[in-house]
Amino acid sequence: MKGIIFTTDALLATLAFFIILTASFYIKSQTQADNFGNLHLSKAVNDILTVLNKNRTLETVDKTVISDILIQVLPPSMNASLRVQYFKCSNQQCDSFSLDKEFLINNCIGKSFEPSLAKTSFLTFESNRVSYFGLAELGVCLL
């Protein structure tokens, strides 16, 4: 009789162990899957900002031009909010900067933002000298 009790006790303990082990693996896999759910969105945001930087759109210092090109490069399922800051050289050596211009293009009013942001910095030149140091931050919202 003692053998049956000990065997039953061991089987129940083993069953409880496997249930807990399975539940913990399930919870861990769900957590990891949620972290990578917006990976495609993050890549798209970085690509869009890279395009704006590489084709020198951000260097135009013209809100209308930047807004028009931003709308052209966005996928049909996205809208964006772009904040651009332009810092001017404070002295001849250009070793310090002061904020000269800043604008916000916000096409995401009233929509929820996805947690995907991209940031970049850039320089604008005038007569082979640094004219502006710029910072741009792009966030997206899905339609």
pLDDT tens-place string over residues 10-64? 888 888 888 888 888 777 766 555 455 577 788 888 999 999 999 989 888 889 9
Q: What's 54-121 look like in SS3?
A: HCCCHHHCCHHHHHHHHHHHCCCCEEEEEEEEEEEECCCCCCCEEEEEEEEEECCCCCCEEEEEEEEE
CB count within 10 Å of CB 27 equals: 10
* 3-state SS assignment for residue 36: coil
Whether the pLDDT of residue 103 is over 80: the answer is yes
Q: Nearest CA to 61 among 90, 89, 81, 88? A: 88
pTM, two decimal places: 0.67
Report phi then psi at 4, rounded to 5. -65, -40
Name the more confident of 37 and 71.
71
| CA gap 23, 55 in Å, rounded | 50
Q: Which two tokens stand for residue 102?
A: 């800043």
